Amino acid sequence: MKLYSYFRSSASYRVRIALNLKNLPYDYAPIHMLRDGGEQLKPEYRKLNPDGVVPTLVDGDNVLQQSLAIIEYLEETHPEPPLLPKAPADRAYVRSVALQIACEIHPLDNLRVLKYLKHTVGTDDETKDAWYRHWVEAGFTTLEQHLAGDSRTGKLCFGDTPTLADACLVPQVFNAQRFKIDVTRFPTIQRIHDHASQLDAFARAAPGVQPDAE
């Protein structure tokens, strides 16, 4: 398998975690999102990924987009170890945590959104940074309530075994920390992040140790 990835992209980071958790080796194809106007927007790459976003996973003849769809594919094609629990209601719960991050937080703080705010809406850097912090903090506030209040929460989002939810949470915390958000205000999120980050599959997926890290 070949993963088109940018070290700092949190959607790429999710898929790297999932590949590592499933012990699947892969080739790393770096796509530099800032260099030269963004390599993800070049026609060559857009043949693989018309949206011009990372990651893309190529598995034989299959070209796969969207990090959560890629992780569900890995779950179906390489079921062990599972990244989703067995019972449908628990699977829905884990997916809802992942989607809360992937749909309610991350899309608002994407590079292209921040660019549009700055260059088209014309906001200053202070307003742009406040925007970033607002959506992370709003999302983390409700995510913290979810996780702190649910009996299924353990050392990780669902018990003590890594799931799709942890694969989304850790990259989002990485992003928040980059933007100097005080994650200790969200103690359950912080605790899960700290535990997960020490696991080998997460540590090997971290942005700082990727081939294209700067």
Positions in the binding site for a second copy (CB under 8 A)? 50-53, 59, 62, 64-66, 68-70, 72-73, 76-77, 88-89, 91-93, 95-96, 98-100, 102-104, 106-108, 113, 116-117, 120-121, 123, 127, 130-131, 134, 142, 145-146, 149
Cα Rg, the chain, nearest whole Å: 17
Give me the residue label for tokens 């200053």: 124
The dihedrals phi and psi of 213, each to the nearest 5 degrees, come to -60, 145
Provide the minimum distance between the beta carbon of 163 and a second copy in the complex, in angstroms, as a whole number.
Answer: 13
Closest residue by Cα to residue 165 from 102, 79, 111, 213: 102
Q: Please say whether the beta carbons of 136 and 186 come within 8 A.
A: no
Least CB distance from residue 133 to a second copy, whole Å?
A: 12
b/e per residue, 72-88, with b = 16+ CB within 10 A? bbbbeebeeebbbbeee
Cβ nearer to a second copy, comparing 103 with 213: 103
Say if residues 20 and 205 touch (Cβ distance below 8 Å).
yes
CB–CB of 94/163 below 8 Å?
yes
Rounded to 10 degrees, what is the CA torsion of 33, 83, 199, 188? 90
- Considering the complex, what minimum distance in angstroms separates the CB of residue 49 from a second copy? 9
Residue among 23 and 127 whose Cβ is closer to a second copy? 127
Instruction: Extract the tokens encoding 101.
Output: 């991050």
Q: Which is nearer to a second copy, 34 or 121 (CB)?
A: 121
Helix (H) or strand (E) segment spanning residue 152:
none
The residue (of 64 and 176) whose beta carbon lies closer to a second copy is: 64
Three-class SS of residue 167? helix
* Residue 118 vs 191, nearer CB to a second copy: 118
Give the nearest distance from C-beta 15 to a second copy in angstroms.
12
Q: What is the smallest separation between the CB atom of 207 and a second copy, expressed in angstroms?
A: 20
Least CB distance from residue 127 to a second copy, whole Å?
A: 6
> Which of 72/212 has CB closer to a second copy?
72
